Amino acid sequence: MEISAHSVWQDVARIRERAPLVHNITNYVVMNSTANALLAIGASPVMAHAVPEVEDMVGIAGALVINIGTLSDPWIEAMERAMKRAQALGTPIVLDPVGAGATPYRTRTVHRLLAAARPAIIRGNASEIRACVSEAASTKGVDSTEGAEAAATDARRLAEQMSAVVVASGETDYVTGEGCVLRVANGHPLMPRVTGLGCTASALCGAFAAVNASPLRAAAHAMAVIGIAGELAAERAQGPGTLQLYFLDALYALNESHIAARLRATSQRAGG
Amino acid sequence: MEISAHSVWQDVARIRERAPLVHNITNYVVMNSTANALLAIGASPVMAHAVPEVEDMVGIAGALVINIGTLSDPWIEAMERAMKRAQALGTPIVLDPVGAGATPYRTRTVHRLLAAARPAIIRGNASEIRACVSEAASTKGVDSTEGAEAAATDARRLAEQMSAVVVASGETDYVTGEGCVLRVANGHPLMPRVTGLGCTASALCGAFAAVNASPLRAAAHAMAVIGIAGELAAERAQGPGTLQLYFLDALYALNESHIAARLRATSQRAGG
Amino acid sequence: MEISAHSVWQDVARIRERAPLVHNITNYVVMNSTANALLAIGASPVMAHAVPEVEDMVGIAGALVINIGTLSDPWIEAMERAMKRAQALGTPIVLDPVGAGATPYRTRTVHRLLAAARPAIIRGNASEIRACVSEAASTKGVDSTEGAEAAATDARRLAEQMSAVVVASGETDYVTGEGCVLRVANGHPLMPRVTGLGCTASALCGAFAAVNASPLRAAAHAMAVIGIAGELAAERAQGPGTLQLYFLDALYALNESHIAARLRATSQRAGG
């Protein structure tokens, strides 16, 4: 498959037209900024984490986004219930394993959630994706590769294990699943200096998955949009503070010409 | 009663002079932005939700703002205790029933809170206000009206049931109670693209209720100020990101001339 | 000891070079803004509050920042465990006693935390610092002094009781401990109109303590950097909304010339 400016744009237009409800069980740090990003692109965010209501909320949502950034036991139970309900309903799930690998609690939690239900999309940085790969698999071979190649290998493994689309974010985003590999090279070096833009990427994956039946396309389109909005924002920003705001303005004002002028994506068959 | 630029301005001046402490038990998404809005208008915000301290905190506050946006059981207990304490002290309560009607848990919670104590002001959008009307009442007749008229009917019913002032927010804000109906038509279409400006409106209702003994006037003045600050911000903003910040700047810089030049409010007797 | 522009700058350069991990157990209101401030200065923030993981997270952090702004029982337990672990590891602890004195729950909590482990730095406003002084001490004499002098007295007492560096923030920040008293007079009147800049100061104290073995220097340098970034931001800001963002831009762009041109700090021997 190819990712074209027009295919990215079609999803943006669909989000603006349908305003899909995206149910987030996410971390405290980014709730405000991800809600604003979802609103800016045209989606309708809701945050709800109480065990007595998450299944009902999933029932009216177009996508479920799970982010373990500030997890605790009651939240994990809510995440698990929401994921099971989403799976039963066929609602796409996006999982962001924030900090997996940093503490045993986070790594355990990710494996518990992956055992509860199958996400459509898993998005994290290289070390988080590595921590998601099941131990059996990750100790199978010697991980002699480093950096981008190791990240690609881990992402492919996880995609196979979970039959999910996996995004390993970095300077170039590596998107794999459905037998394909896509690389999206949009973005700006100032973006990692704003907290939660990775979490925002996961939230936008939810909005795109709500309007596109292919999680691979949804994930790639979302990553392209994030990167392009970041580039547009960086042209005006004087630092990470203003970048954060101009990024929301850019998401809101995004049009097909912006995408056509900036999209940097390549695709290949998996294993190719 | 009439709502005039001068009466709005008097309350703003009082808030700046007295810096009333507004105790918020609110949702995670908007805590930062509502605290900033309260500071920008001149009030003194505090967020406190722990059962062991909410009653003490209410004891030193000029108003209590309850917002169920990201509710969970321990928070509901704290909300209930805080509301009872506020009622005992005669401290005005503002209730924002975020998402009431979206899940049974939220609707149940709102009715539980309304049974615990009587808010001075209830502010929500049309569907949230509808979900607050007690079932007995809402099934009394056939709700044949739609849109703005249905919202007005629901708001009047709720105002009567609770002897409270009810604000149904929308393109035009409908403020009813104390035998009056006020319509405030300030605001800008970009405002709903920023998360939590509705919640901010409720928080500002708290600040105004702390300095004005009439909940009707307090609510109408707060809605006018929110709308006017949004209009001022929209003149400079290039999207929802910058709107959010310029809105705070506008609240901070607001003067009587801004209000006089922009206020769009009409009043009538209830039933008139 | 003297605080010079060069000594301040050296710490900033070290933070940017080493990107120390700062573990925050902080309040909901400021999580986003303090994470952004830590990223803007060059540190690496992590927020984690679950009892099952805080000890592990402290184990990989360069500093621990405890902020009781929106405390509740499970969080207090996590704070206590994290502090004990940090003390065992020799990792510097910064404590921000937000609202101590406002409710008995907060005052009790602060004393419980101070009994659990010794912070390297305690930073609060005058009334919070007063509430941290142990009751025995605070009732020893008659506090006839008022305002800045009373704050200085309380800070010195607390510094002695806890063998910690104490910062009493205000128009002039009073930094005491290690037998010295430093006064930092940087800052801008608009800063208190942005929520959480005090909390941000505490978080930055953590970043500086992670790269400077003297808590006194770390605290004074952090307070100078906050104040100078605020001054730079205020030159461009039109209100508290834009100040918040330009402040992050200023932290990111800060260089030695900015500091040299603006630093207003004086030192004396304690008791001198």
Residues of chain B with pLDDT under 70: 135-146, 270-272
How high is the pLDDT of residue A150?
A: 87
How high is the pLDDT of residue B146?
A: 59
pLDDT digits (tens, 9 = 90+) for A67-91: 999 999 999 999 999 999 999 999 9
Best residue in B16, B53, B55, B258 for a mutation probing chain C (most C CBs within 10 Å): B53
How high is the pLDDT of residue A98?
A: 97
What ipTM is given for this predicted complex?
0.94
How high is the pLDDT of residue B136?
A: 53
Which tokens is B235 given? 């003149």
Confidence of residue C147 (pLDDT cuts 50, 70, 90): confident
The set of chains that have 3 or more CB pairs under 8 A with B is A, C
Q: Which H or E element spans position B82?
A: helix B73-89
- Give residue ranges of A with CB < 8 Å to any C CB: 27-30, 32-33, 69-73, 99, 102-106, 192-196, 237-242, 244-245
How high is the pLDDT of residue A54?
A: 98
How high is the pLDDT of residue C136?
A: 53
Residue A110 has pLDDT above 90, yes or no: yes
Q: What is the DSSP string of A73-140?
A: HHHHHHHHHHHHHHHHHT--EEEE-TTBTTBHHHHHHHHHHHHH---SEEEEEHHHHHHHS-HHHHTT
How high is the pLDDT of residue A255?
A: 98
How high is the pLDDT of residue A269?
A: 75
pLDDT digits (tens, 9 = 90+) for C74-98: 999 999 999 999 999 999 999 999 9
Residue A118 has pLDDT above 70, yes or no: yes
Q: What is the DSSP string of A51-77?
A: HHHHHHHHHT-SEEEEE-TT--HHHHH
Q: Contact B144/B231 with Cβ under 8 angstroms?
A: no
How high is the pLDDT of residue A134?
A: 77
The residue among B266 and C136 whose pLDDT is bigger is: B266
Percent residues over pLDDT 90 in chain A:
90
How high is the pLDDT of residue A155?
A: 96
pLDDT digits (tens, 9 = 90+) for A187-215: 999 999 999 999 999 999 999 999 999 99
Mean pLDDT, chain C, whole residue set: 94
Laid out side by side, the sheet with C44-47 consists of: C44-47, C21-25, C63-67, C93-96, C121-125, C165-169, C173-177, C180-184, C265-269
Instruction: Provide, for chain A, the percentages of residues in helix, strand and coil under a 3-state DSSP scheme, each rounded to the nearest 5.
Output: 55, 15, 30
Smallest CA-to-CA distance from A70 within A44, A90, A96 is with: A96
pLDDT digits (tens, 9 = 90+) for C28-80: 999 999 999 999 999 999 999 999 999 999 999 999 999 999 999 999 999 99
Q: What residues does each domain of chain B span?
A: 5-269
Residue A137 has pLDDT above 70, yes or no: no
| Residue numbers in A near C51 (CB within 8 A) | 72
Confidence of residue A146 (pLDDT cuts 50, 70, 90): low
pLDDT digits (tens, 9 = 90+) for A147-171: 778 889 999 999 999 999 999 999 9
Taking CA atoms, A139 is separated from A128, A133, C77, in Å, by 16, 10, 36
How high is the pLDDT of residue A236?
A: 96
Residue C148 has pLDDT above 80, yes or no: no
| Residue numbers in B near C34 (CB within 8 A) | none
How high is the pLDDT of residue B135?
A: 67
Using only C-alpha atoms, what is the Rg of chain B? 17
Instruction: Provide, for chain C, the percentages of residues in helix, strand and coil under a 3-state DSSP scheme, each rounded to the nearest 5.
Output: 55, 15, 30
The angle subtended at Cα C11 by Cα C9 and Cα C12, nearest 5°, is 65
pLDDT digits (tens, 9 = 90+) for C214-238: 999 999 999 999 999 999 999 999 9
Q: Is the dihedral of CA A60, A66, A72, A76 positive or negative?
A: positive
Interface contact A71-C50, CB threshold 8 A:
yes
Best residue in B26, B32, B38 for a mutation probing chain C (most C CBs within 10 Å): B32
| Residue numbers in B near A248 (CB within 8 A) | 239-242, 244
Locate tokens 């590999």: which residue?
A181
Locate tokens 């979206």: which residue?
B102
Contacts with C203 (C-beta within 8 Å, 6 or more apart), sequence order: C22, C24, C26, C34, C37, C38, C45, C65, C67, C94
Mean pLDDT, chain A, whole residue set: 94
A175-180 contacts, C-beta under 8 A, 24 or more apart: A175/A216, A175/A219, A175/A220, A175/A223, A176/A152, A176/A270, A177/A215, A177/A216, A177/A219, A178/A1, A178/A214, A178/A215, A178/A216, A179/A269, A179/A270, A180/A1, A180/A216, A180/A267, A180/A268, A180/A269, A180/A270
How high is the pLDDT of residue B271?
A: 57
Interface contact B47-C70, CB threshold 8 A:
yes
B5-269: CATH, from 3.40.50.720, 2.40.10.340, 2.40.10.120, 3.40.1190.20: 3.40.1190.20
